[in-house]
């Protein structure tokens, strides 16, 4: 399997919207996705060219601090090392900039994602009480804030 990284564009929006709905209990709307393609940094993951996006990450950078806003691998492709591959691509992209660290929020109940980030070296910085809404909106869920210091590296993104 050869995984390819490329930037997202507006023609990916149908796929992004479908992936959001499959993978998140409270998915981003098409409008949020469209605004993020326009205003945030992003990387998309495909398996060959040309083929649809099967994973993506949105992130932003303010001076030396980056923030991971979203990272997802479509349901049929999970647990095959692609989340790790995409996360490494984001980190390598940021290491080539002035970013010194990256922060993210993750649902306390999202053990798979927490594990992915912990394996990449992220550590828990703090807890944000009631940060996330839930589908029925009656209760809210806590977020863990995780952080990773970014060390410059020459490593390039390679195939899985």
Q: Which of 152, 157 has the CB closer to ligand COA? A: 157
> DSSP for the chain?
---EEE---GGGHHHHHHHHHHH-SSPPPHHHHHHHHHHSEEEEEESSSS----EEEEEEEETTEEEEEEEEE-GGGTTSSHHHHHHHHHHHHHHTTT--EEEEEEETT-HHHHHHHHHTT-EEEEEEEEEEE-TTSSSEEEEEEEEEEPPP--------
Q: How far is the CB of 141 from ligand COA (least distance, A)?
A: 12
Nearest residue to ligand COA, using CB? 83
Q: Which of 21, 38 has the CB closer to ligand COA? A: 21
Q: Which of 23, 108 has the CB closer to ligand COA? A: 23
Which residues here bind ligand COA, judged by CB under 6 A?
23-24, 71-73, 78-84, 106, 110-113, 115-116, 119
* 117 labelled catalytic: yes
Catalytic sites, residue numbers: 105, 117
């Amino acid at each position: 399997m050869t995984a390819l990284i490329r930037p997202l564009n507006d023609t990916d929006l149908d796929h992004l919207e479908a992936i959001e709905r499959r993978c998140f209990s409270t998915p981003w709307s098409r409008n949020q996705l469209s605004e993020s393609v326009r205003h945030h940094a992003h990387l998309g993951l495909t398996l060959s060219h040309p083929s649809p996006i099967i994973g993506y990450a949105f992130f932003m950078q303010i001076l030396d601090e980056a923030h991971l806003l979203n990272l997802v691998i479509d349901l049929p492709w999970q647990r095959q090392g692609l989340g790790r591959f995409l996360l490494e691509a984001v980190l390598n992209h940021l290491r080539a900039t002035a970013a010194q660290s990256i922060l993210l929020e993750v649902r306390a109940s999202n053990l798979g994602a927490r594990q992915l980030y912990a394996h990449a070296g992220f550590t828990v910085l703090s807890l944000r009480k009631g940060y996330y809404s839930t589908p029925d909106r009656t209760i809210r869920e806590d977020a863990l804030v995780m952080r990773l210091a970014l060390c410059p590296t020459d490593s390039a993104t390679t195939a899985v």
